[in-house]
Amino acid sequence: MRNYMYILVMAVTTYLIRVIPLAFLRKEIKNRTFRSFLVYVPYVTLSVMTFPAILESTDKPWISLVGFGAAMIMAYCRISLFMVSMGCCLLVFLLQIIG
């Protein structure tokens, strides 16, 4: 019975999180600061979910950090996403073999 109560509370919470903005935000948001904040929310959420997985992807965290650093440098140089991912995977793979 207790598990069903937990599931019910989670379902209601999830439902309210999705319904409340729809119910109260019917007109367009005109505040520039709030709009720019909302633009970056998906990117921040993806980063927050991805970064811990990057650090825990290898047995040695320094190898993960080197791969992450390489990805940042390649992305800064505007290399394509496919090449960044392949290059970092190859780099991390080679560092795993060596070290």
- Nearest CA-CA partner of 24 in 32, 12, 16: 16
Amino acid in position 11: A
Domain count, the chain: 1
**pTM of the complete model:** 0.60
Rounded CA separation 92/99 (Å): 10
Q: What range does the domain containing 54 cover?
A: 2-98
pLDDT along the chain (99 residues), means of 10: 91 87 79 87 88 90 94 96 95 93
